[in-house]
Every structure is written in structure tokens, then in C-alpha cells.
């Protein structure tokens, strides 16, 4: 039976894609990315001002921008205006091959939407040997947190390699001690993919159990992820687990294209899945 790295290399050669084959074997580790991210003193994302009693934010994943620049962001831009969305979050795989040209196109497309946005890194964004350096250049840290006044805290985890890692867990535990009205954790890899085991979830069972325990003990409101190109919602131990919905421009793994929309009305939070066509 072929080992996974050899199998992946054969597939890449067969399909002739633009991913750097060596990046599957050699790229900045989770620990390196997290350590560098937590030492950042510049380019840290800032919280957009919000009316803490009434605001909306959207989350989606996997836009997979290529040099052909095929995407569904224009449809989302229309919703931003019609629904009054204040900001949005993309939970990884902004690019398909992690190329510099793809990042440039992606940044231009996102800025064209016209409202603040926040991102976390996905596995496809590391598909070049310099993938992490490009991410730092265009977006800054891969893990960070943002406090929107005293009402909402969003924690961005780096799970682009399928792992959380010791350093990031220590940081996460500290972040969860300061809990506002609502806390949302977002990361590329899900803990669950529906109710069944899957290769698309976080790769370490030990890390999944530890993360689930932290979410429960700290009464986190939602864990939001992407990676699997569909929308799914699982409630477990009082925590809402979402696969947010994909903007993937080709065939999805399930369901329809769309995004997760959180609405805060008079201080109360609700959610819905919004289709994009």
C-alpha cells in the first residue's frame, strides 16, 4: 500500500496542477506559524466598530481563488448591501494553489466587497514552499483574537495542517478566560463533519477531545469551520458546531453554495444559512 505523501505526489504529477509538490512534505509547521503569529506586533487585525445591540456578520470558507479568478464573491457582495452585513470572516482556503498571483486577486476581490473582513489560513494556502511567508505578507498572523467591544469575541485558530499544537492550545486557554457576551471560535478544519467520522476533521483524536472539553468548560457559543465543501450544523454539549458553507466555484461535497449569517437583534444572537447562486 502506498504511503500518503507518495500517493499525493503521484496525483499531483498526474493532474499537472500548480501546487508545489515539495510543499506537501516541507513547509512551516503549525508550531512555527503559531509562534511567529503570537509574536507579531504589527499588522494585527483591528475590530470594526459595531452597534453591540444590532449587527450582522457572515462566515464562509473555501473560495479557492485561481489565476482564472472564478468565484461567487459578487453574489455575496449583493447580499452585503441587501442584508446590511457589517463584516465577514473566511475560514481558510482563500487560494487554490497558494500562489502569489492568487493572493493578489483574492485581496482585490475581498476589498471590492466594501466592508471589513477577517481571515484564517487553510491547507490550500500552504500549497507552496513559501506559502506561509506569502500569508504573512498579505494577511499577517494565522492565529489571533478580536474583541468587538464587550459583546463578541472571535478567536481565529490555525489548523491548516490539521493540528492545533501545544503552543496554540496554551494560548487558546488564556484567551477563553476573558469571555464576553458571545464567543465564537473559527478555524479551517472541523471537529465534526456531521455525525460520522471523516478524514476532513482535525487529524488528532486527542486534540479533538481536548478542544471539545475546552469549548464545553468555557461555554463557547459556536465553533465554526470550513474545509469540507458544504454546510452542516451539529449541536453537542450545548455548543453549536458549524461547517459554514462553501463558496467553492466547482462541484461541492454536498448541499448548495452559501454562508453562515449571525444576526444580533437587541443583543440576542441567531443564525441562518444563506444560499448563494
pLDDT at site 99: 97
Give yes or no for a contact between 158 and 37, defined as CB atoms under 8 angstroms apart: yes
- Specify the CATH class of 28-275 in words: alpha beta
Interval 98-132: pLDDT, tens:
999 999 999 999 999 999 999 999 999 999 999 99
Closest CA to 20 of 140, 121, 100: 100
Residues contacting 248, CB < 8 A, separation 6+: 62, 63, 64, 229, 257
* Per-domain residue ranges of the chain: 28-275
pLDDT at site 198: 82
Interval 227-263: pLDDT, tens:
999 999 999 889 999 999 889 999 999 999 999 999 9
pLDDT of 187 strictly over 90: yes
Mean pLDDT of the chain, nearest integer: 89
Amino acid at each position: 500500500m502506498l504511503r500518503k505523501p507518495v500517493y499525493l505526489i503521484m496525483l499531483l504529477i498526474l493532474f499537472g496542477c500548480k501546487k508545489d509538490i515539495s510543499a506537501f512534505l516541507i513547509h512551516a509547521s503549525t508550531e512555527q506559524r503559531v509562534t511567529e503569529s503570537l509574536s507579531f506586533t504589527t499588522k494585527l487585525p483591528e475590530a470594526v466598530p459595531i452597534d453591540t445591540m444590532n449587527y450582522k456578520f457572515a462566515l464562509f470558507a473555501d473560495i479557492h481563488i485561481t489565476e482564472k479568478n472564478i468565484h461567487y464573491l459578487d453574489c455575496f457582495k449583493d447580499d452585503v448591501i441587501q442584508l446590511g452585513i457589517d463584516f465577514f470572516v473566511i475560514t481558510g482556503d482563500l487560494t487554490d494553489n497558494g500562489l502569489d498571483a492568487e493572493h493578489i486577486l483574492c485581496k482585490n476581490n475581498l476589498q471590492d466587497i466594501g466592508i471589513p473582513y477577517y481571515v484564517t489560513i487553510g491547507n490550500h494556502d500552504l500549497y507552496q514552499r513559501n506559502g506561509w511567508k506569502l500569508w504573512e505578507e498579505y494577511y499577517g498572523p494565522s492565529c489571533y483574537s478580536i474583541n468587538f467591544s464587550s459583546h463578541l469575541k472571535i478567536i481565529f485558530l490555525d489548523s491548516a495542517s490539521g493540528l492545533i499544537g501545544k503552543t496554540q492550545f496554551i494560548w487558546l486557554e488564556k484567551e477563553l478566560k476573558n469571555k464576553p457576551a458571545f464567543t465564537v471560535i473559527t478555524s479551517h478544519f472541523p471537529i465534526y463533519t456531521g455525525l460520522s467520522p471523516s478524514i476532513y476533521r482535525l487529524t488528532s483524536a486527542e486534540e479533538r477531545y481536548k478542544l471539545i472539553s475546552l469549548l464545553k468548560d468555557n461555554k463557547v457559543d459556536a465553533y465554526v469551520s470550513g474545509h469540507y465543501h458544504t454546510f452542516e450544523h451539529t449541536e453537542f454539549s450545548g455548543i453549536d458546531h458549524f461547517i459554514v458553507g462553501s463558496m467553492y466555484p466547482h462541484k461541492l461535497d454536498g448541499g448548495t453554495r452559501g454562508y453562515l449569517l449571525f444576526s444580533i437583534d437587541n443583543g440576542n444572537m441567531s443564525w441562518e444559512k444563506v444560499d448563494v447562486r
